[in-house]
Amino acid sequence: MKRLITFRHAKSGWDQPATRDFDRALNDKGKRAAAVMGRHMRAIGMEFDTVIASPAVRVVETLDAMFDGYGKRPAVGWDRRVYLASSSNLLEVLQEAPDSAGTILLAGHNPGIEELVLSLSADAGEEEIRARSEVEEKYPTASVAELTFEVDHWADVDEGGGHLVRFVRPRDVDPALGPDRVS
């Protein structure tokens, strides 16, 4: 069995208009959300042995904050193909992963991450349908989805072949990290 954890980068800022998209940094709320998600992932026993990530600054900073919260700092495979990748490109990256990796944490961007989760998961059971519905509604920044696949090789992971085990948004862990409300 193979397991995939997708992690969308945390909230970044647009306060420096001359900055290239690739170089955008996290804002304070994003840093808090990433650390909270790391602590939550550790608390629920969500483990991974391989990390593949976009090298964009906001992803690098998201993983730094998440690892601080998680309490471990594993090596990261920075892959430029993950930067703003489509679902099909992300699937290709996964299918090329070494079979020695049992669980991959894939950190990147929307809409590719959201579309990947939806394309890989099947509608099987009430909990999975509920989780898919939440992903379809929105895959917010710093959210995590976990999928399992009954395969021995990453090359065999394909559309509709996975089961969405869980989908966790920062606001599910800490309501203060929910969407900003205008009064």
Options 3.30.300.180, 3.40.50.460, 3.90.700.10, 3.40.50.1240; CATH for 2-177 is 3.40.50.1240
| Per-residue model confidence (pLDDT) at position 183 | 39
Q: Chunked in runs of 10, what are the mean pLDDT values of the chain (183 residues)?
A: 98 77 94 97 96 98 98 96 97 98 98 97 83 94 97 96 96 87 44
| Per-residue model confidence (pLDDT) at position 178 | 84
Q: Structural domain boundaries of the chain?
A: 2-177
Binding-site positions read: 58
Q: Indicate the residue type of 12.
A: S
| Per-residue model confidence (pLDDT) at position 108 | 98
Binding-site positions for substrate read: 58
